[in-house]
Structure 1
Amino acid sequence: MAEVHGTERPRRRRGRTALVVVVVLLVLLGVGVALLDRFSNSYAEDVIADKVAAEVAKQNATSSRPEVTIAGVPFLTQVLAGEYQEIKIKLPDFAAPTGTGETVRMDLLDISATDVKAPLNALRSGQGEVVAGAVTGVGTIDYSLLADATGQEGMTLTEKDGKVVGSAVLSITRTQKIELEGVADLKVADGKVQVRFSDVTAKDLPNNPLIQGQVNNFVKQMAFELAVPELPMNLVIRELQPLPEGLKVTFGATDVTLAAAGV
């Protein structure tokens, strides 16, 4: 009996040792795959950031270095499938000329591309395209920029109750001035933000047809248009929303070629 016990116990120890080795190898393999996945993800994000920066510069726009995030885990599975859930691109300190003398500035242009198709064979060969089914962008334009676009000295724009309100002072004579305030009607047409004022009120407005005519002419002069600069990824304005911190602009585009397949 003693000899039987002596032969079985080492076998159990060897079996346990082998099991431990297998578990350790599987853990190391999992860690290695995870590290490779994250490294590949980070590398791809850097490559896309470089190409986006080049695209921004090509349009005579500027920004701090783009911040790119490829969403979805695992990343390598998306690479093999040639389909990516979402690619997020942040352009801090974005600025672009309008072509009419103004420069549109945004503290951040936040872009999201979804349903991105990038076939693996295209990535390998460098031939083909990376296409996003939908791209959206969000940025905020400071009211001071819009006020400057009116060309009216002393004009201020603010948000009140979800609307943009303009305020200005009209000089009737050297000594007589009238404070005007009106609600801005915002509209996007032909690639421009059109601003017209309505419901204009004036403090202590004299009942004088001549003065009323001056007020009406001044209100017409307050109207202005702000050209929208060429934006990355063919983004166009979809929505305007007045916020206390500025005018929130939502951009959009569909079936957008993000870059050559080398992205």
Structure 2
Amino acid sequence: MTQEYAYEERPRRRGRKVLVTLVVLLLVLGGLLVVADRVAAGVAERAITDQVRQEVAKQGAQSSPPSVEVGGFPFLTQVLDGRYERISIGMTDVRASVQGDAVTLPKLDVDARNVTASLDTIRSGQGEVVAETVNGTGTISYESLAALLDREGLTLGERDGRLAVTAPVNILGQRLTVNGTADVTVGEQGEVALRFKDLAAEGLPNVPLARTLLNNYAQSISIDVPLPDLPFQLAVREVRPLPEGLAVTADAKNVPINAAT
């Protein structure tokens, strides 16, 4: 009986060892495939980073080195298919000159969806990489806007979801502090329209001339701010005040996201 029992156990143990070995090999192979997939994605991300840097330079703008992330997994199957789920591009300190004045976007995030690029384009670097939709979100610093208004001591910020202004003003020989808010809209050419209304100043003399001078000041700082050309043909759709700056939302369709080669 003992010999028969030992004979039966030996094949079972051998079968378990084979099964464990196969599982280990599959795990190792899976890990290697994941590593290879991420390495390939990293190569693509570096290539797109270079293209984005060229695209920004073509617009006459400057920024810190962009960060690029290729979304979707696995990456290699997307390469073979020639279609990528998402490419995210992040840029900081985007600067451009608008009519001689510097406009700064501390942050610009671009999200490209359903990106098409042939395997030959990826391999050779020639040809277009086209995104079906591109959405961009960025901020304009209040310091940049205040510099464009060019009024000594004027500061801008957000108050209850609106663009707020505080500034010292001389009215009828008195130094007063003006406070108020502005309507912010997007113009037909993509410019940001600032319209300051209902400004108030504590201690304002109760005479018509004082109110007229305050209204004149409101008109003088109500301007259209032309934004720099955004990369990837992005068109501004919405602008709204946030604590960190004026938030800009832009989008575009069927856009090449690589510079012409």
Q: Same fold (TM over 0.5)?
A: yes
- Specify the SS of the correspondent of 1:159: strand
> 1:25 maps to what in 2?
25
Residue 259 of structure 1 aligns to a residue whose secondary structure is coil
Determine if contact 1:123/1:261 at 8 Å carries over to the other structure: no
Contact 1:63 1:95 in 2 (8 A): yes
2:132 matched residue in structure 1: 133
Question: Within 2, Cα distance between the matches of 1:164 and 1:82?
Answer: 45
The alignment's TM-score, normalised by the length of structure 2, stands at 0.88
For each residue in 1:132-190, what CA deviation from the matched residue of structure 2 results, as whole angstroms up to 9, or x when unmatched?
111111112221211121122222212111111112232134x4233322221112111
Partner residue, 1:53: 53
Query: 1:71 is matched by which residue type in structure 2?
Result: G
Q: Give the SS at the match of 2:93.
A: strand
Q: Identify the range of structure 1 (135-144 vs 252-261) with the bigger mean alpha-carbon deviation.
A: 252-261
CA apart distance, 1:91: 0.7
The answer to whether the 8 Å contact 2:52/2:259 transfers is no
Q: CA RMSD in A?
A: 2.5
Are 1:79 and 2:79 counterparts?
yes
Task: Check whether the contact 1:240–1:250 (CA below 8 A) recurs between aligned residues.
Answer: yes
- Say yes or no: does 1:219 pair with 2:221: no
Shift of 1:6: 8.3
* Structure 1 spans left out of the alignment, 5+ residues: none
How big is the shift at 1:119?
2.7
Report the equivalent of 1:35: 35
Q: Distance in 1 between matches of 2:205 and 2:5?
A: 115
Partner SS state of residue 220, structure 1: helix
Q: Which residue type is aligned with residue 103 of structure 1?
A: A
Alignment partner of 1:184 is 2:166:
no
Match of residue 234 from structure 1: 233
**Contact 1:149/1:224, CA 8 A, preserved across alignment:** no
Matched, 1:63 2:32: no
After TM superposition, the structure 1 stretch with the greater mean CA deviation from structure 2, 120-129 or 75-84, is 120-129
Give the match's secondary structure for 1:165. Answer: strand
Comparing 150-159 with 81-90, greater Cα deviation is found at 150-159
Q: Contact 1:186 / 1:193 at 8 angstroms: preserved in 2? A: yes
Deviations 1:73-102 (A, max 9, x none): 11112112222111111112221222x012
Indicate the residue corresponding to 2:207 in structure 1. 208
- TM-fit CA distance, 1:9: 6.7
Write the distance in 2 (CA, Å) between the matches of 1:130 and 1:66: 17
1:35-76: per-residue Cα shift (whole Å, max 9, x none)?
A: 111110111111111111121122221122111111111111
Higher mean Cα deviation, 235-244 or 1-10? 1-10
3-state SS in 2 of match to 1:85 = strand
Partner of residue 253, structure 2: 254
Q: Secondary structure at the match of 2:31?
A: helix
- 1:65-144 equivalences under 5 Å are 65-98=65-98, 100-124=99-123, 126-144=125-143
Equivalent residues of 1:196, 1:224 under 8 A apart: yes
Give the total of aligned pairs.
260
Q: Deviations over 1:2-56 (max 9, x none)?
A: 9988887766565555444433332332222111111101111111111111211
What amino acid sits opposite 1:179 in the alignment?
A: T
Q: For the residues of structure 1 that align with 2:35 and 2:48, how far apart are their CA atoms?
A: 20
What secondary structure, in the 3-state scheme, does the structure 2 residue paired with 1:73 have? Answer: coil
Gaps of 5+ in 2: none
Contact 2:54 2:259 in 1 (8 A): no
Amino acid at match of 1:155: L
Which residue identity is paired with 1:64? S
- Distance (whole Å) between structure 1 residues aligned to residue 212 and residue 14 of structure 2: 102
Give the match's secondary structure for 1:205: coil
TM-score w.r.t. the length of structure 1 is: 0.87
